[in-house]
Chains A and B, each alone.
Chain A
Amino acid sequence: GQNIDQPTEMTATEGAIVQINCTYQTSGFNGLFWYQQHAGEAPTFLSYNVLDGLEEKGRFSSFLSRSKGYSYLLLKELQLKDSASYLCAVRDGDYKLSFGAGTTVTVRA
């Protein structure tokens, strides 16, 4: 099985930067995913890392270190609409996704 840990909640101010950390222990590794989920809605894909390093997509960046079992999602220039839950998910050796419990980010004006 998988063990995926991420903080439960984070709060930040509009325009600021927030970093959401995710640590994992897996039986096999075939990629790490970040999803965004607004309250009452379905998760939507944000980013995918399979090699070490930083992937940048506009205001969102994701970093992976496979040797440390560590990833982070960086949200820059925060907007009120970024208030949501952010889910870290690891794909194991059998290509199945295991999700962390999610980090609820609240952006305040």
Chain B
Amino acid sequence: TAGITQAPTSQILAAGRSMTLRCTQDMRHNAMYWYRQDLGLGLRLIHYSNTAGTTGKGEVPDGYSVSRANTDDFPLTLASAVPSQTSVYFCASSDSEVGTEQFFGPGTRLTVL
């Protein structure tokens, strides 16, 4: 079982360009999340989805958008990247919003120049 996969593993992106980070899970989890992790700040929630067809904003949603067309996929889009979006991005899922564990993908390291 793959669990959660993310692509790409790492990316260097020019400021102003757009990019979509991909996240796919095969555990049939209803809830999915996107976090960014920055040194000294810990993991911060960007967007979440409690079930397919619904999304919500987390702590730091500005500059990011998400969609949840089906249960398995939860892509994160940066419409016009800025250097402050340089970070490590983790996708996570749980069986439901009240589940006792979130499973994390391997992360995408993004550098915006």
Q: Which residues of A are interface residues toward B (Cβ below 8 A)? A: 1, 4, 30-31, 33, 41-45, 48, 87, 89, 95-102
| CA A6 to CA B45, docked complex, whole Å | 19
**Could you tell me if A101 and B40 are in contact, using CB atoms closer than 8 angstroms?**
yes
The reply on B100 being an interface residue by CB < 8 A is: yes
Given contacts A1-B59, A42-B105, contact A48 B100 (CB under 8 A): yes
| CA A36 to CA B59, docked complex, whole Å | 22
| CA A102 to CA B38, docked complex, whole Å | 11
**Could you tell me if A42 and B43 are in contact, using CB atoms closer than 8 angstroms?**
no
Interface of B is mostly: loop
**A102 (CB) vs chain B CBs: closest residue:** B42
The reply on B12 being an interface residue by CB < 8 A is: no
**Could you tell me if A41 and B45 are in contact, using CB atoms closer than 8 angstroms?**
no
**Could you tell me if A99 and B106 are in contact, using CB atoms closer than 8 angstroms?**
no
Given contacts A96-B48, A96-B58, A98-B59, contact A43 B43 (CB under 8 A): yes
Given contacts A1-B59, A96-B58, A99-B42, contact A48 B97 (CB under 8 A): no
Contacts of A48 in B (CB 8 A): 100-101
Contacts of B51 in A (CB 8 A): none
